[in-house]
Amino acid sequence: MTDSVSTTANQAKYRADYTPPAFLIPTTNLEVKLDPEQTQVKASLVVEKNGVHNNSLELDAEVEKVVQIEIDGEGLSPDEFVYENGKLTINRAFEKAQVVIVSEINPKANTALEGLYLSAGAYCTQCEAEGFRRISPFLDRPDVLSIYTVTIIADEEQYPHILANGNLIAKQKDHKTGLTSVTWNDPFPKPSYLFAMVAGNFDLLKDTYTTISGREVSLEIYVDKGNLHLSDHAMESLKKSMQWDEAKYGLEYDLDTYMIVAVDFFNMGAMENKGLNIFNSKYVLADEKTATDTDYHGVESVIAHEYFHNWTGNRVTCRDWFQLSLKEGLTVFRDQQFSADMGNPVLERISHARVMRTMQFAEDAGPMSHPIRPDKVIEMNNFYTVTVYDKGAEVIRMMHSLLGESGFRKGMDLYFKRHDGQAVTCDDFVSAMADANNKDLSKFSRWYSQSGTPELTIQETKTGSVYTVEFSQRIYGRDDAYKALTIPVKYEVLNKHTGQQVERGVFVLEEHKGKLEIKTDQDVVTVLFEDFSSPVKVKRSLPLSDIKLIINNASDAFCRWDMLQTLWQMVAKEGKADGEAGRTLVNCLIDIVLKQELDPAIRAELLTIPSFQSLAEAFDEINVDAILKTRTLIPSLVTEQTQQAIRNELAEMGPVNNDYNKENVAQRSLKASLLNLLSFSDGEEVKSILRSVYDNAPNMTERVSALNASLNLGDALVQDLLNQMHKSFSQQPLVFDKICQIAASYNGDEVYQMMEYWASQEEFDPSNPNRIRSLYGAFVMRNPAQFHALSGKGYLFLERLLTDVDAKNPQLAARLIDPLLSYQRYDEQRVALMKGVLLRLSSTELSKDLYEKVHSALA
Ligand code: PHE
Ligand code: ZN
């Protein structure tokens, strides 16, 4: 009856404007007749007024067509409702009614991958954050919880697996139409963003898990036909996660079935829909032939993350989207704890610190900076950020540090006791933590409202037998309004000469300034922020001798690694390798190359060359050339003196068993670091070593290590090995992604031809986000030399790409633009080039997603 052009204005919403919903929807019945271009959705809703008012029922709606509306069995005439600008307004008064809405949608035309869409022939849905309104008009907000019963009608021959949340309650074939209708019921009230349905033809891996109270849960993983052999690691990870959550938090799974569906077309990692997770196939499928150790780790942690959401997110959900960190920060923290328990806690912490320093600090210093609980949002999809997720997890971790393991658990228990079945706020979480521990966390909760990265200036003095460390905190550029944050500082005091431990403890800075005083007669130096105890920047000038002492003696391996990063940053800032810092760094690295007795996992990390972004972090104005130079000069100098030792060690290492466990992973990552260093020594011999590593590699991890190292040795070898990989793994999209990533990282003008070549291959479907991210995402993120080339070619390349992608998939485009947003941190010439791109984009028609980012960057 009514067509609606979606012209939702680019209007901001504010956290402060929250009001409870005017209506509630206690039950939702959906009947969905699947069709690629004309799917019909009939929603029968019980709608009741929430409180006393005379407002009309205003539903969020972004469907193709509203076909028919009935209230308590009576059809509405066209003048009784309006469908425009993303809202369906019903102008008939009632206290409580049965509202039936029939609408039509087009899954095939859905390239944004939000709502109901087709992924390689299978129907699937993505509703977080505001995708349900593209399936049916609804109160599409997380504080409206409803019990869903869903009937899906489809041709069972074509779609043997027809799934929705909860329990299967009926299945019937209509012999007249030949269609099958399948009905699911989810007994747990849930917000619409957790709704999911799927119809497709899959291979199914089944297993069971017996919960701690003895209930048997059926575990089901659905993958594309032919991929069954790639799903074992996902299943093992799921069982480990279920067991871990019972042991660590006393949390048990609550339905009889837990389903995971792997799809190829997905904007994010995965989605925690109640009882029916939908995953990017990248985070399900793995075997040693096609997946690296990093991929195995990714599968394990994403499976865990989505599983943990069942309690932190689903049983207790968010009141509104400004509270996203309530579920995401907490669930990331929980998956981090899980990964640390499954693998190596120090490596986990190093990787968290890397994400924070290279991505989150940059976001917090840029135009899209926001508190972990944002105050203002134009497009919610833009707030699935490293700030909300990873800084959010750091904030939870600090609470954990302040309350201790058992205090934190008490807080979690109280949180579930109070809020199970509710949609709540970050304040509710903090209150549960505070009340369970009789602790005042009101000052601490400033972490939720202040954006920006605190900068800690450290000054050490010694008077008599008192050694004092003075801390002062601020946020760059916000000195006036900045309220002091609570900052836990884990520290160790070392004797400056022997490296022996003098003392170890935790200091909590609560004011703008604070002092840690230590009584000692020894000459000492402190190791600060052990285990990355707070997400802050540290301004401290230590003499090189102290830096070296810490690298060699700190008890916490994280801090040994951390000090080495500081040294790298000093060298980058000096802009030369033969200064004092450069020589110290080279010597430290040579020591590490020669110290075979060090723990292999840590040694591999210490020998990893820091990313462009992590060195850039040290600059107020990023010096691209100095960073690029540092990243090649230092390893060249190290290898000059150690190449024989490296070759010998590589030769002696021999084969590592393929199993994924921490010892084997450590060996392989050490091998990768050594190979990479070796690639900085030139000569044909190195090429032949890499080629033979590639040829003899028993698994994908080692093949990728050889390929990454080959990037330093000219394009012929890389292209050759990539072609070889392509031949051996044709039609395997996840391997193809690795090829794209490596090709796009090549530092040379040839990279454009290489990208064109791989984009022209059959496997490259430009409507698949994984392909775009692998090829072009790698170019903008992992190829700083070409992306930031002074010719401006890299920026222009991104500009064209953004225009293309934005028209089809705004979420994807909005992620690709991120590196441009920090343009103000570069030199004058680059600022002009990057700003030019943003200005030109701003004068074109943009999605809401890109609009918000482009305009905030130019504001
Ligand atoms: N909620 C998902 C997660 O973190 C992420 C996601 C957000 C997926 C939005 C799809 C869309 O686990
Ligand atoms: Zn999540």
Q: Summarize pLDDT for 827-849 with one digit per residue, the tens.
A: 999 999 999 999 999 999 999 99
What is the rounded distance in angstroms from the CA atom of residue 244 to the CA atom of residue 242?
A: 6
Question: How far away, in angstroms, is 271 Cα from ligand 1 center?
Answer: 5
Find out whether the beta carbon of 268 lies less than 6 Å from any atom of ligand 1: yes
Name the closest ligand to CA 193.
1
Select from 113, 266, 268, 312 the residue to mutate for testing ligand 1; criterion: most ligand atoms less than 8 Å from CB. 268
Find out whether the beta carbon of 125 lies less than 6 Å from any atom of ligand 1: no
Atom of ligand 1 nearest to the CA of 131: 11
pLDDT tens track for 804-813: 999 999 999 9
- The pLDDT value recorded for residue 9 is 78
Question: How far away, in angstroms, is 126 Cα from ligand 1 center?
Answer: 9
What is the rounded distance in angstroms from the CA atom of residue 67 to the CA atom of residue 738?
A: 46
Atom of ligand 1 nearest to the CA of 384: 7
Q: Which residue has the least CA distance to atom 2 on ligand 1?
A: 271
Q: Which residue has the least CA distance to atom 11 on ligand 1?
A: 128
Question: How far away, in angstroms, is 308 Cα from ligand 1 center?
Answer: 13
What is the rounded distance in angstroms from the CA atom of residue 489 to the CA atom of residue 486?
A: 10
Low-confidence ranges of the chain (pLDDT < 50): 1-7
| 306 included as an active-site residue | yes
Name the closest ligand to CA 335.
2
CB 350 within 8 A of CB 374: no
Select from 272, 383, 811 the residue to mutate for testing ligand 1; criterion: most ligand atoms less than 8 Å from CB. 272
Find out whether the beta carbon of 272 lies less than 6 Å from any atom of ligand 1: yes
Dihedral sign, CA of 847, 850, 856, 859?
negative
Find out whether the beta carbon of 280 lies less than 6 Å from any atom of ligand 1: no
Q: Which residue has the least CA distance to atom 5 on ligand 1?
A: 271
Question: How far away, in angstroms, is 328 Cα from ligand 2 center?
Answer: 5
DSSP element (H, E) containing 103:
strand 96-105
Question: How far away, in angstroms, is 269 Cα from ligand 2 center?
Answer: 9
Q: Which residues contact 216 (CB under 8 A, 6 or more apart)?
A: 208, 209, 210, 256
Question: How far away, in angstroms, is 745 Cα from ligand 2 center?
Answer: 29
The gap between the terminal CA atoms of the chain, to the nearest Å, is 42
* Structure tokens given for 387: 């700030």
* Structure tokens given for 371: 């508190």
Atom of ligand 1 nearest to the CA of 305: 12
Name the closest ligand to CA 283.
1
Question: How far away, in angstroms, is 381 Cα from ligand 1 center?
Answer: 10
- The pLDDT value recorded for residue 6 is 42
What is the rounded distance in angstroms from the CA atom of residue 484 to the CA atom of residue 478?
A: 12
Find out whether the beta carbon of 393 lies less than 6 Å from any atom of ligand 1: no
Find out whether the beta carbon of 194 lies less than 6 Å from any atom of ligand 1: no
Kindly list the distances between the CA atom of residue 170 and the CA atoms of 26, 44, 149, 826, in Å, as whole numbers in the listed order. 22, 18, 11, 61
What is the rounded distance in angstroms from the CA atom of residue 772 to the CA atom of residue 765?
A: 8
Q: Which residue has the least CA distance to atom 9 on ligand 1?
A: 128
Atom of ligand 1 nearest to the CA of 129: 9
- The pLDDT value recorded for residue 8 is 55
Of residues 339, 363, 393, the one with CA closest to residue 532:
393
Name the closest ligand to CA 194.
1
Atom of ligand 1 nearest to the CA of 389: 4
Q: How many residues does the chain have?
A: 859
* Structure tokens given for 807: 């028209």
**What is the phi/psi pair of residue 294, to 5°?**
-60, -40
Q: Which residue has the least CA distance to atom 6 on ligand 1?
A: 271
Global pTM?
A: 0.98
Catalytic position from the list 306, 363, 394, 617: 306
Question: How far away, in angstroms, is 307 Cα from ligand 1 center?
Answer: 12
- The pLDDT value recorded for residue 578 is 94
ipTM of this predicted structure: 0.99
Kindly list the distances between the CA atom of residue 342 and the CA atoms of 235, 297, 304, in Å, as whole numbers in the listed order. 15, 10, 11
